Amino acid sequence: MPARANAGRKIIPLPIKQLKGTDRPDEEKKRNTPLPSLTRPIPPTSLSKRAKQIFTHFVNNRLTGYYSSFASSTYTEMIATYARRQEEVEKLGEFIEKNGYTFETTEVKSGDKCIRAYPQVGQYNQAIKHLHTILVEFGMTPSAAGRVGAALPKQYDRASNNDFDGF
């Protein structure tokens, strides 16, 4: 009997394990997991101008600090997928903002008026879900960051910004 798809624990990428402090060298040797490349990713030529801007912004501004190990050419395709989806969300969002979510139409058989959602609304929802999934993979949602144990920036550190320090 073949194994079920998605059965068992999901393999956690090495950079996430390192952030959590749960990486074990002996465990990685068993899996022979390749380490991410040390070269920075370059936007693929197949991306549109706007998607290349999104790609570059994501690499230079989002994949910093705790996430800098993901700013690797190993993840170029995933970052490119993020950039394409982000561009799609922007375009669909502009359409919805301009035209609204619904339109009025007439039923062919009965002649009744009915309100329907534009197909772009469904496409927008699917693109948002996919974008969220990609961000989870990079550990960039609040819950994913909590699982990684990412530290808060210094301005949010309650111990250093205590109003009662002078007393």
Return per-residue pLDDT of the chain as tens, 167 residues: 555 666 677 777 767 777 777 777 776 555 666 677 788 888 999 999 999 999 999 999 888 776 777 888 888 899 999 999 999 999 999 999 999 999 998 888 788 888 999 999 999 999 999 999 998 888 888 777 666 555 555 554 555 555 655 55
Structural domain contains residue 5? no
Structural domain contains residue 46? yes
Q: What is the pLDDT of residue 31?
A: 60
49, amino acid identity: K
Q: What is the pLDDT of residue 129?
A: 95
Q: What is the pLDDT of residue 139?
A: 81
Exposure string over 84-99, b if 16+ CB within 10 A, otherwise e: bbbbbbeebeeebeee
Structural domain contains residue 6? no
Q: What is the pLDDT of residue 100?
A: 92
| Domain around 131 | 36-147
Burial class (CB in 10 A: 0-12, 13-18, 19+), 41: buried
Structural domain contains residue 139? yes
Distance CA 37, CA 14 (A): 12
Q: What is the pLDDT of residue 137?
A: 85
Whole-structure pTM value: 0.68
Structural domain contains residue 105? yes
Structural domain contains residue 106? yes
Q: What is the pLDDT of residue 122?
A: 95
Structural domain contains residue 155? no
Q: What is the pLDDT of residue 5?
A: 65
Q: What is the pLDDT of residue 149?
A: 56
Domain count, the chain: 1
Structural domain contains residue 74? yes
